[in-house]
Structure 1
Amino acid sequence: MKRFKGFKGTPVIVLGVLLLISAFIFPSVADNIQTKGIEKAGKDLNINFPKITELVIEEGQEETNKEDIITISDEEEKVFDDIVLLIQKSTLPIALKNRELSESESNRMVELRKKFKAGEIKSEKTMAIGENLEKPYYNPENETYYYPETEMTDEDMLQIIVFDEKLNRAFSRFRETYIQEVMENLEPKISEEEAIKSAKEIVEKVYNVDLDNMKISCSFDSTGLNNKKYWSVGFQPKNLDTLREQEKLYWIYFTKVDIYDGNVVYVDSFYSNQMSEREGVAETDLNNIEEYKKMSEEILIEKLNIKNVEFLKAYVRKPNNLLPHKITSKNLYLVFKAEDRYVEMLFLYGSKRMVGLSFYDDPVELNERINKIEERSIGNIN
């Protein structure tokens, strides 16, 4: 990676592309859509893709317009490809920064991104890549973004935005190459159409919603333990861009469907106001979770028609001290034996709303996932 030194080219806050959704990493993608940085899975993942927030690529954006936004040289392309490979091997949960953006910088960044994606502004420069450079710059060796201590100019932030776009494209190239190689050696027994049908049915049952007018995305996904393969199916409002711009509330739903047996193994939801929803809520008492258990059992028994449900345990996942509070909050998990499978139900900590659920065929697999969460991030386990 020494070739990065002194490369003047661009931070990564990035991708996000609800690319639907390149990587579903337990516990919940939903919260991570709020992050300001690249979030990466642990070593147990076969492949990791960033889950971003600030830089969400607009679904309706024409490819020709995107190509007009920036130009990237062959040399730069190789550099960004190397950064992607480095990030894939990383164990850091997010990209680090020497400081957070100020409120003014955050507001200006949002507006600059909108103008950039609309083709109204451009920059021929990219944020520098290397170490001990004039700020702002990105150091791939420690995966850290270095911002100047003083308020950044619009040009500084525009160079960051250009860097983000170039890194997004590098991740897209990486993903396309990887998926092509994997798919050449696979013979899925479940088609995309069958996966979408199964995903739609379970989301409508679990969340009591009608998805007929939602935009559907389906893509191949290879994440999680044991190198399992899935169809990742997502549902979002067709006018999502407008809802965001007008700061209106909306829901997005995510699922994973096994490509061999068609079982839905993961269901998750994102509510655009759920960060505010958590503010000021009382802490969950693990000794008083009867209401949570009742809600979970109603979903499993009445909505999913699972006959034999047995509660096993509950635990709280606390915010990792590496992560800013806004990126992750406490989550409450309830684990059940559900006939011949195991189910982990996720609730917002202090809230009575069930966010998502995950199915496991083997309790060992579930315990491995729980055990891989760093000790300092785990609360009491009953």
Structure 2
Amino acid sequence: MNKKKWYAGAVVLFSGGVLTLSAFVVPGIVNSRVIAGNGPAVQAKAQPAAGGSAIPVLKFEAPAPVSTVTADLLKDMSEAQIKQIYDYINKPGLEPGISGREITEAEINRRLVLEDQYVYEGLRPEQPLPLKAGQAEVYVDIETHTYTYPERTMTDEELLQLIDWSYRLNYIAARHNVTVPPLAQDISEAEAKRLAAESVNKLFDADVSKLKTKALLAELGADKQPAWTVHSAPYKAATLRGQEKEFQEYHVIIDAKTGDMLDTTVINGALKRTPIDDAAANRIAKDASWIHKATQIVMNKQGEKRTIVKASLTGTENNNKRGMVAVKLLLEDGSSYTAELRYPNQALRCLIYEPAGK
């Protein structure tokens, strides 16, 4: 995918346990990069691809910084400004667009660093982003929802204006979010975070206690079962991405009623996927070490005591393109694990659990 494409308003907020994401975004944000070719695995600058590697990973564990964004927006925005943005985000049929060039990779990286400074250090633009043409070279036309960038490189002030606008959009969206009935749960948020930390420690030998951890309760899957999603990442992860440093994040999904670990995944944006060609796929199909590796993970790291009655590779056509080998292990009671291993080093990317009858 083209890394030059970027969200102008994509900021995720956890507000009162509800995930809010601005729908008003410039097309084409990069959330992964597909790597072509079948050469050996090397480091790349993609984000966020899936992780698990022998490559040394820089360890970023800093004291928790405090964000004043919400308080500052609350003090700064008048009711007229709030109403203007509220009316804007509720216009039907709006599709975001860009007039002129797309943002460059260098500007993306600068924006990432500036965004952490905006959130954690109180850095603010001198002026708000103009909302119509004729006032500046960088602006958003709120009538057509079109972002316009200059042909020259944008200044820090202009990037800060775009960041500030995206946070204002999300603040208003969260403020006017419709309250929904709470989902049924037997696992509390604190318990979900504890279980997630234990799972990450077991599978990846990692300590998330000094990482920024957010938990969200939502209905997932076709059966709409309530589940906790718990995400842990370094504070100021945007700065690390902007500086193209390697680090790891962890994403865990937990059944909110039973406490089962449904999915534990490590994310490392610096790792490059190595697609599996036909010759390599044939070798893997005959190589018992992949099933042996997955079995050891489930028995020794996960601590599973139930008997494994069947083991097989699964989803090979799609996984070959992704550079992953997925091994499904069926248990005696009908439950199963799927261990997704990176090719060629067999490092664990994620472990997925499916209870019997699901």
- Look up the match of 2:86: 78
Gaps of at least 5 residues in structure 2 are: 1-6, 21-26, 32-46, 49-63
Select the residue among 256, 275, 278 that pairs with 2:272: 278
- Return the match for 1:124 from 123, 127, 144: 127
- 2:299 matched to which residue of 1? 301
What is aligned with 1:151? 153
Q: 1:282 to 1:314 in 2, by over 3 A?
A: closer
| Alignment partner of 1:60 out of 66, 69, 73 | 66
**Partner in structure 1 of residue 328 of structure 2:** 336
Q: Distance in 1 between matches of 2:116 and 2:209?
A: 29
- Would the aligned equivalents of 1:221 and 1:231 in 2 still touch at CA under 8 Å? yes
Answer whether contact 2:252 2:264 (CA < 8 A) is retained.
yes
Residues 233-284 of structure 1: CA deviation (Å, up to 9, x unaligned):
233456868877987643322211111122111111123xx43x317x5646
Alignment of 1:198 onto 2:207: no
Tell whether the 8 Å contact from 1:330 to 1:349 is kept in structure 2 after alignment: no
Contact 2:316 2:325 in 1 (8 A): yes
Among 11, 14, 17, the alignment partner of 2:10 is 14
TM-score (norm 1): 0.60
Deviation at residue 124 of structure 1 after TM alignment: 3.4
Distance 1:212 1:80, change over 3 A: same
Mapped pair 1:234 → 2:240: no
Aligned partners of 1:18 and 1:270: how far apart in 2? 20
2:319·2:326 contact (CA, 8 Å) conserved in 1? Answer: no
Residue of structure 2 equivalent to 1:353: 347
Deviations 1:6-41 (A, max 9, x none): xxxxx6252145889959xxxxxxxxxxx97387xx
1:266 aligns with 2:263: yes
| Preserved contact between residue 337 and residue 352 of structure 2 (Cα < 8 Å) | yes
One-letter code aligned to 2:199? I
Aligned Cα RMSD in Å?
A: 4.5
What 5-or-longer segments of structure 1 have no aligned partner?
Answer: 1-10, 24-34, 40-51, 320-328, 366-382
Question: What secondary structure is seen at the aligned counterpart in 2 of 1:220?
Answer: strand
- Secondary structure of residue in 2 paired with 1:299: helix
8 A contact 2:229–2:252 mirrored in 1 = yes
Q: Please point out which of 117, 137, 141 is paired with 2:140.
A: 137
Equivalent residues of 2:276, 2:323 under 8 A apart? no
Q: Percent identity?
A: 19
Aligned length: 299
* Equivalent in the alignment of 2:4: none
Shift, 1:154, TM fit: 4.2
1:313 aligns to what? Answer: 314
**Aligned mates of 1:355, 1:59 — CA distance in 2:** 29
Give 1:207's aligned amino acid: F
Equivalents in 2 of 1:222, 1:361: separation in Å? 17
Superposed displacement of residue 163, structure 1: 1.8
CA contact (8 A) 1:253 1:268 kept: yes
2:283 corresponds to 1:288: yes
CA distance in 2, matches of 1:97, 1:204: 43
Distance 1:351 1:146 in 2: 45
More displaced, 144-153 or 193-202?
144-153
Deviations 1:103-157 (A, max 9, x none): 4433543454355443344243325479xx976537897x875534443344443
Aligned partner of 1:219 in structure 2 is: 216
Give the distance between the partners of 2:173 and 2:220, measured in 1 at CA: 16
Describe the shift of the 1:316–1:357 C-alpha distance in structure 2 as closer, same or farther (beyond 3 A). Answer: farther
Q: Secondary structure at the match of 1:356?
A: strand
Asked whether the 8 Å contact 2:82–2:172 carries over to 1, the reply is: no
8 Å Cα contact 2:324/2:343 also seen in 1: yes
- The answer to whether the 8 A contact 2:341-2:350 is kept is yes
Pair 1:360–1:80, CA change in 2 (3 A): farther
Bigger proportion of residues as helix: 1
* TM-score, with structure 2 as normaliser: 0.64
Q: Give the direction of change, closer, same or farther, for the CA distance of 1:22–1:310 in structure 2 (3 Å limit).
A: farther
Q: Summarize the Cα distance change of 1:248–1:158 in structure 2 as closer, same or farther, 3 Å threshold.
A: closer
Specify whether residues 228 and 109 from structure 1 end up closer, same or farther in structure 2 by C-alpha distance, changes over 3 A only: same
CA contact (8 A) 1:70 1:122 kept: no
> Taking structure 1 as reference, are residues 246 and 154 closer, same or farther at Cα in structure 2, changes over 3 Å only?
closer
Amino acid at match of 1:303: K
Q: What code does the residue aligned with 2:283 have? A: N
Check the 8 A contact 2:275/2:322 in 1, yes or no.
no
CA contact (8 A) 1:314 1:334 kept: yes
